[in-house]
């Protein structure tokens, strides 16, 4: 199965008609924190211009950038991509090593 095609078509159908901007939630989250595009670019280690290309859908967001934005705003990638309306992030994975140590005590 070609997952790139599947994701691309799913992404298009989910995001079509959402106020003209595919990544509106990213912009909204940034503005809710009173952050400029330059400040967000600095968080992501890129220029303001490079970041603005993501917000305006002139450049496709990579998984790494999506993960960094989700972490910065304490939300999920699914929320950023309008795949869910649940803003709360998914639970973090538990460290197997810490579980074994706790059981020894």
Q: Name, in order, each residue with C-beta under 8 angstroms of 24's C-beta and a sequence gap of 6 or more.
A: 18, 82
Q: CATH for 3-89?
A: 1.10.260.40
Write down the pTM of the prediction.
Answer: 0.67
Each residue's pLDDT expressed in tens, for the chain with a length of 105 residues: 444 544 444 444 344 444 446 789 999 999 999 999 999 999 999 999 999 999 998 999 999 999 999 999 999 999 999 998 988 877 777 776 655 455 554
Q: What is the CA radius of gyration of the chain?
A: 17
- C-beta neighbour count of 100 within 10 angstroms: 9
Domain layout of the chain by residue ranges: 3-89
């Amino acid at each position: 199965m070609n997952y790139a095609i599947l994701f691309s078509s799913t992404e298009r159908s989910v995001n079509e008609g959402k106020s003209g901007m595919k990544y509106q939630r990213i912009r909204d989250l940034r503005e809710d924190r009173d952050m400029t595009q330059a400040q967000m670019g600095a968080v992501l280690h890129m220029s303001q211009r490079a970041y603005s290309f993501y917000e305006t859908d002139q450049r496709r967001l990579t998984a790494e950038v999506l993960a960094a934005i989700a972490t910065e705003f304490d939300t999920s990638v699914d929320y950023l991509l309008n795949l869910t309306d649940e803003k709360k992030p998914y639970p973090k994975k538990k460290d197997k090593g810490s579980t074994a140590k706790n059981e020894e005590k």
